[in-house]
A and B are shown apart, each in its own frame.
Chain A
């Protein structure tokens, strides 16, 4: 699957650029769950760059995956006279009270990538996290319609890990019920650590005598560890395995045939869109929503983007084309003669 929206949205963004000739500098606060993950760094860079083009300043904070810290940091951002608060919540429920605090101070709130629950959020720009799980499971079930499945989930204390799991199960459960696939194990990697995933995969292979045909893995940093464990049993490339985030190392593994797929959230698009919406909120302009998502309290005006399943075949058309990673980087470990022609 490729992304049909992509070219269109690119056009849209360039339009907005033209309309944003503005003198007074707008201040936007951006609160990240964490910057320890490769993708968020991209989000930050694209967002800041786009906001600059639109004449806005961005104050960036990272909460080290902790709701309380994030709450404090948002307070601090509001205290600095921002117009709009953009939040990638660590936990969409636990950050809700900040919305009211922001509104009291006249600050609009944009939920970025993950929704803020039960609060009067002004806008939402995202990919659907359950959808991510679905894409992972769909890709793997397509490759391995029958067989033994192992689920390598994320951090047991991360709310999003739960959402990914739900999405995966939505696709897998019918097949389990039909008897096509058998889930031989499900384990959660504390803190999304590569090392923990590696140990888990080693043990899963041992416990199942290597009789595992497919691994539905929740993200790339854990997939990296799992693939190491597969490699030790000479199973890398033979066992289908999913991922998420399109980390460089994992893209390399995909083109080498060792990882089956990753879920690429066209970050550039999301970040650019996010910046557009933020600036529009600041100016009180229309945000061009393409949908509404209910958060338990209201229907939040949303700009929803589609996550893309990327495998060996559409790598060039998606990730490389977007400039998310360069061809040289991704194909570094593949003999030159096998490189795709561009």
Chain B
């Protein structure tokens, strides 16, 4: 192949974190103007490689060479990468919550005259970007008022605002619904027509298949290989990633559904910021013992608000009734919910799921720490460690030691820690809000199997997910929401994605 085709070559990149090799002699070549997919298990080193390329880990903190546009790149900081024309959307949301949408989009590149910001221009350009993404929000609203999905779109807008020749997207769609993904893809195709190169990282292989031209697969910090997308199938990618075949992604298993355990009646939730606005409007549903109930809907449909209000963690006011095993209950905070046997994996793992500076162990046992109390009132650390090790094994969490701070884990592995925390609590009802965000196919499969084991043992599950295949592949029953209202309920037999989509966008 002609060398001139390549806009980027990363050669023999090696990077370790105090003894742990995250990248081991990695090579990546990207052609000018292509959309290049990067796949690999959780912890394979994808994000680390991209952080090297965007100057987060500056020249000298890794070994190897980066050739970009024919010249060797020695990046000292992020600014250098931006100056060279490289832009990135990080896997972990990196927005300043107190600042407005438009300020976040232009942070670091504020339109200004002599250091004085031209707010009107900023507003105007933000509006254009948001329109492109079909996101109808006020550019002056602080980011903290947005849902996770919307925040991810803002992050995308931020990347688009920079005029880059190489755009890196690290898990840009983990909280997006299919409709939004389609919008993003159209934009990427437009960019491609304008000669912009993209590197696209995702665990949603169908997306990767749809949008990319070539794919490189990484495993355990090493490059496995690159191939044109058209020559690959999903299962071939999986095989390269995981090292083995994985034919059925959804291990449907028979399980007993028992009597009704939870009933939610006429439930409404009001916005925590403006108390007159209803986000969830008069929703009712039931949940049976050993049942998996899926909740589908578009971004902003109010699914998160619904489930987090039930769990007692949403700050806004709510109305309606909840019956647990026939008894009316009133949950005011997560503490009480957990006492009733209801646990929840929140959608925002960084903000609500994890305590970044604490270790994997501390995080995992935070909810059930009481159960390790011994006679002296102290924590039986060894008993704790046994459990922690068990879950690390079970969920295949890639971590060198359980006392490592969770902030050092790869995105997918962090998500697994949040899952483990809630499993350790042994709930009767487990609420999962986007449970497999950023988790690789192999691990997803394991998690699904685990979910089946849970329901077989009589635990009930409510699962909010933006991945329709996941909803359809797992749920026994599906509730669909649209603009805060329940628009439909399907027993999962012969349900198609189209039927759910139709319902989610408000049609019948």
- Is there direct touching of A and B in the complex, by C-beta distance under 8 Å? no
Measuring CB to CB, which residues of chain B are less than 8 angstroms from any residue of chain A? none
Q: A-side interface residues toward B, CB under 8 Å?
A: none
